[in-house]
Amino acid sequence: MTFQDTKFNFKIILAALIAVIIGILIAFYYSYAQSRTEISYLEQERELLMKDLTLMRTEVDRLSALNEVNEIELEDSRDRVQQLMDSVGQLNYDIAKLREFRRELRKLESRYDSIKLRNNYLQYNNSVLADRYEEARDLIEELRGRSNTLAEAEALQREKIRELSQELKRKSYLKLQDPEGSGFRMRSERPIRTNKASTIEKLRGCVTVMGNPNVVSEEKVLYLQFLGPNMQVIEDNATIVSVNGNIYSKRAELIFLGEEMKICDFITVPEGSLQPGIYTLNVFEDEKLLATTEFQLK
C-alpha cells in the first residue's frame, strides 16, 4: 500500500471518529436541551405560585382589616347596650323611650348577628387560605427539589460527555490493510477456492494487522461482516452475532503483540444458497469500521 493510500485511509478513519464524536455530542446536547426546557417550565410554575401567594397575602390583610372594623362596631354596640342598661337601672325613662330602646336593641341584635356571621365567614376564609398557603409552600419545596434534581442530572450529563470525549481520544484501534474476501467449495473435507456462487460452502475473510511498536500485548476482538448483493448480512451456519443492535457474521478474538499479523476466518453457508453478484466484507472493532472490500461471485 502506498503512502497516499495510507494517508487516505487515515483521513477516512479520522472523519469517521469525528462523526461518532459529533453524534454523541448531539445526542447529549439534545438531552441537555430537554433538561433546560423542563427547568424553565418549573421556574415559570414557581413564579405563578409566588404571584398566587402574594394575592392570598393581600386578601388575608384585607380580611384582617375588615375583621378589625367589625370588632370596633361590636365594641360600640356593647357600649350602647351598657348605656341602655345604666339608663334602665336609673329608671329615667318612660314607655315611649322603652319602646325606642327595644327597637334599638333589636337593631343592635340584628347587627350583632350579622357581625357574628361575617366573623365566622372570615374565620372560615382564613382557615381555607391557611390550607392553601401550606399546600403552595409544599409545592414550592417539591419544585425546588425537582429543580435541584434536574440540575444534578444536567451536571452528570456534562460529566458523561466529558468522559466519553476523553475515552474517544484515548481509544486506540488496530490499523488494518489488504482486506480480502473469497469463496470456497469443499472436496473431501478440503476447501478449494472458487468464485462460482452456486458451489460455495464457505466464505473467507482475511485482513493484515499492521504492527505497532508501542503495544506489548493487547486482547482485541474483530467482527467480520459479509454482505450479499442485496446488502443483507450473511449468517454463519444460521448464526449471527449481535452487539449493541449491530449485526455481524463472525466474531474473531486475537492477541495483538505489536507485530504485523494476518487474520483469516471462515463462515459456513448452505451450498447453493448464494447468488451471483458483488459481495462486501467489512471488518469492525468495537462497532468501528476499520476495513472494507468487495469481491465478485459468478
For the stretch 240-265, pLDDT in tens is: 888 888 899 888 888 888 788 898 99
List pLDDT tens digits, range 214-242: 777 788 888 999 999 998 999 988 888 88
Tell me how far CA of residue 280 lies from CA of 53, 81, 138, 235, 286, in angstroms.
69, 109, 63, 13, 19
For 174-193, what is the mean pLDDT? 88
- The chain-wide mean pLDDT, for the chain, equals 79
Looking at this protein, which amino acid is placed at residue 158? R
DSSP string, 186-247: EETTEEEEE--GGG--EEEEEEEEPP-TT-S-EEEEEEEEEE-TT-PBPPBTTB-EEETTEE
Confidence band of 184 (pLDDT split at 50, 70, 90): very high
pLDDT at 53: 66
Q: Is a pLDDT exceeding 60 seen at residue 1? A: no
pLDDT at 279: 94
Residue 134 or residue 294, greater confidence: 294
Confidence band of 280 (pLDDT split at 50, 70, 90): very high
The domains located in the chain, with CATH, are 3-170 (1.10.287), 176-297 (2.60.40.1930)
- Burial class of residue 223 (count of CB atoms within 10 Å of its CB; 0-12, 13-18, 19+): buried
CA distance 176 to 12: 13
pLDDT at 281: 92
pLDDT at 223: 92
For 159-176, what is the mean pLDDT? 69
For 6-19, what is the mean pLDDT? 73
Q: Is a pLDDT exceeding 70 seen at residue 60? A: no
pLDDT at 98: 66
Residue 45 or residue 203, greater confidence: 203
Q: What is the pTM of this model?
A: 0.45
